[in-house]
């Protein structure tokens, strides 16, 4: 079995004894003698299907919440939220662990091993977000996933939890002093800024010096289309918003071979990036998302699963596509999302996260996400934060599809089927 050596994470007692870290770059402590295991993705096919189902359910909840998006536009990252929750679940026990498994549809066995396999699959496309020229998205996609765990150096953190993070998530911990906001907030924000290439500059949750635990996951995606859109073919064309208003919006055009699928009340395509990823674009039938009902309401978990299953067996066809440009951002209070999902014990327990910190409770949870879609490709970034406190050239087209009214989109990792980003375009202008 192939293994990756990482340094030993300091024991709880050693964490208490650490001196203050640098404000801008606290020391990363990793496990000494704990090896990150390299697993065979094929051995966890069932667990990866569970993760896809979980991400689709989280995507439904995020779209339904809507965050602070404007004019019905939503961009979210169910993939980032899933990874962060899987890390949190690694330290849960009792009724909270059972609730998370049930509500989130997490695998009953081999959960951390399967997440290791998923993260390893994404690592094939890892790169430095800061090195990307966002005006010219790369032909080789950059999919940078990062996990960060900031713990108060005055509060013991469970060895078994830290060992699991080292063994299956490839991460250690940053010991900090949360009461020193002047040092710790800039350190966390610098982590966010660095791992999103500057697209998100600050952690999404408001800083609270009473916290003793902050778990973060970031995802950064940048890729050129397999066949870029010609800017000379972009022109202002009508787009009907969710409110029924007809506006003019810049519309891109292309004709290429891609997966086409349709079902009751929808049709869609998998628009390919240069390698490894597609943008799944789903267009409801005319009128399906009009009126006062949000466009996102057309995409519950059952519908999203049906769409994913249909695309699994869809054939390649030559499609002529019309697609608007858009540049959207959104943030979420995830405590509201967790409440809507039914994670009530998870939000209120002071006992079931003792494996992380003594009598820890979840105090804050937030996500920030943004996306830019244009002729050359796509740039997207997201950060999920969960804070806690210890109380102590084709033939003629066979299809034509015009995304000229509200539609749903996902950025899908082809190998695992995981929806990394998910959103709704109700008005491409804002």
Clarify whether residues 179 and 145 are in a common domain: yes
Q: What crossing angle do the helices spanning 111-123 and 78-89 adopt, rounded to 10°? A: 140
Clarify whether residues 336 and 266 are in a common domain: no
**Domain-located, residue 249:** yes
Confidence of residue 24 (pLDDT cuts 50, 70, 90): low
In percent, the amount of the chain with pLDDT more than 70 equals 89
Clarify whether residues 9 and 119 are in a common domain: yes
Give pLDDT, residue 392. Answer: 65
Clarify whether residues 16 and 111 are in a common domain: yes
CA–CA distance, 337 with 61 (Å, rounded to integer): 6
Clarify whether residues 120 and 238 are in a common domain: no
Cα angle 280, 377, 218; round to 5: 75
Clarify whether residues 90 and 190 are in a common domain: yes
Q: Report the run of H or E that residue 1 belongs to, with start and end.
A: none
Among 16-30, 97-111, 165-179, 388-402, the minimum mean pLDDT is found in 16-30
Does residue 8 carry a pLDDT above 50? no
Clarify whether residues 283 and 318 are in a common domain: yes
Give pLDDT, residue 31. Answer: 64
Clarify whether residues 196 and 55 are in a common domain: yes
Closest CA to 284 of 267, 297, 302: 267
Give pLDDT, residue 427. Answer: 92
Q: Which ranges of 106-236 does DSSP label H, i.e. alpha helix? A: 111-123, 159-164, 181-195
Clarify whether residues 181 and 267 are in a common domain: no
Burial of 264 (0-12, 13-18, 19+ CB in 10 A): exposed
Does residue 304 carry a pLDDT above 70? yes
CA–CA distance, 24 with 13 (Å, rounded to integer): 24
**Domain-located, residue 170:** yes
- pLDDT for 174-208, tens place per residue? 999 999 999 999 999 999 999 999 999 999 999 99
pLDDT (average), residues 144-153: 95
**Domain-located, residue 48:** yes
Beta bridge partner(s), residue 216: 148, 385
Confidence of residue 299 (pLDDT cuts 50, 70, 90): confident
What is the token pair recorded at 130?
Answer: 């800061």
Among 27-31, 133-137, 269-273, 404-408, the minimum mean pLDDT is found in 27-31
Q: How many domains does the chain have?
A: 2
What is the token pair recorded at 181?
Answer: 């906001």
Q: 304 near 424, Cβ under 8 Å? A: no
Find the CATH number of the domain harbouring 356. Answer: 3.30.497.10
Among 239-243, 311-315, 359-363, 381-385, the minimum mean pLDDT is found in 239-243
Does residue 318 carry a pLDDT above 70? yes
Which residues 6+ apart lie within 8 Å of 253 measured at CB? 229, 230, 233, 234, 320, 321, 322, 323
- pLDDT for 340-396, tens place per residue? 999 999 999 999 999 999 999 999 999 999 999 999 999 999 999 999 999 864 456
Give pLDDT, residue 159. Answer: 87
Give pLDDT, residue 395. Answer: 54
Clarify whether residues 312 and 414 are in a common domain: yes
Closest CA to 369 of 386, 385, 382, 384: 382
Give pLDDT, residue 429. Answer: 86
Give pLDDT, residue 235. Answer: 96
What is the token pair recorded at 304?
Answer: 């999203």
Q: What is the domain range of residue 417?
A: 231-326+394-425
| Of 15 and 363, the one with more pLDDT | 363
Backbone angles phi, psi at 371, to 5 degrees: -155, 140
| Of 85 and 300, the one with more pLDDT | 85
What is the token pair recorded at 42?
Answer: 């094929």
Clarify whether residues 270 and 399 are in a common domain: yes
Clarify whether residues 266 and 213 are in a common domain: no
CA–CA distance, 422 with 299 (Å, rounded to integer): 11
Does residue 288 carry a pLDDT above 80? no
Find the CATH number of the domain harbouring 398. Answer: 2.30.39.10
**Domain-located, residue 321:** yes
Q: 326 near 428, Cβ under 8 Å? A: yes
**Domain-located, residue 430:** no
- DSSP annotation of 169: I
């Amino acid at each position: 079995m192939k293994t990756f050596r990482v340094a030993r994470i300091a024991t709880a007692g050693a964490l208490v004894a650490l001196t203050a870290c640098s404000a801008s770059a606290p020391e990363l402590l990793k496990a000494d003698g704990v090896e990150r295991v390299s697993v065979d993705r094929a051995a966890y096919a069932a667990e990866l299907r569970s993760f896809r189902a979980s991400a689709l359910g989280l995507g439904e909840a995020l779209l339904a919440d809507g965050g602070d998006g404007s004019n019905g536009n939503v961009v979210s990252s169910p993939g980032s939220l899933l990874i962060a929750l899987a890390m949190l679940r690694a330290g849960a026990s009792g009724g909270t662990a059972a609730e998370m498994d049930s509500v989130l549809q997490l695998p009953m066995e081999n959960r951390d091993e399967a997440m290791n396999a998923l993260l390893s699959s994404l690592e094939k496309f890892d790169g430095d977000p800061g090195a990307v020229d966002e005006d010219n998205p790369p032909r080789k996609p950059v999919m940078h996933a990062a996990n960060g765990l900031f713990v108060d150096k005055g509060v013991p953190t469970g060895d078994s939890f830290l060992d699991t993070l080292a063994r299956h998530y490839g991460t250690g911990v940053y010991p900090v002093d949360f009461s020193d906001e002047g040092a710790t907030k800039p350190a966390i924000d610098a982590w966010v800024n660095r791992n999103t290439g500057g697209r998100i500059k600050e952690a999404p949750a408001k800083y609270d010096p009473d916290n003793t635990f902050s778990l973060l996951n970031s995802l950064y995606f940048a890729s050129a289309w397999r066949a870029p859109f010609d800017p000379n073919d972009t022109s202002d064309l009508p787009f009907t918003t969710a409110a029924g208003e007809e506006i003019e919006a810049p519309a891109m055009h292309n004709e290429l071979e891609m997966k086409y699928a349709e079902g009751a009340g929808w049709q869609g395509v998998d628009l390919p990036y240069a390698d490894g990823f597609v943008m799944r674009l789903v267009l409801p039938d005319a009128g399906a998302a009009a009126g006062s009902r949000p466009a996102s309401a057309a995409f519950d978990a059952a519908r999203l699963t049906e769409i994913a299953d249909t695309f699994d067996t869809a054939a390649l066809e030559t499609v002529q596509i019309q697609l608007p440009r858009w540049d959207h951002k959104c943030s979420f209070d995830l405590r509201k999302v967790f409440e809507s999902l039914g994670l009530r014990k998870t939000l209120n327990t002071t006992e079931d996260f003792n494996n992380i910190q003594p009598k820890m409770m979840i105090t804050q949870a937030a996500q920030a996400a943004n996306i830019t879609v244009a002729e050359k490709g796509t740039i997207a970034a997201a950060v999920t934060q969960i804070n806690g406190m210890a109380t102590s050239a084709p033939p003629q087209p066979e299809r034509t599809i015009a995304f000229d009214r509200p539609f749903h989109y996902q950025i899908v990792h082809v190998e695992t089927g995981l929806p990394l980003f998910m959103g709704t375009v109700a008005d491409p202008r804002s």
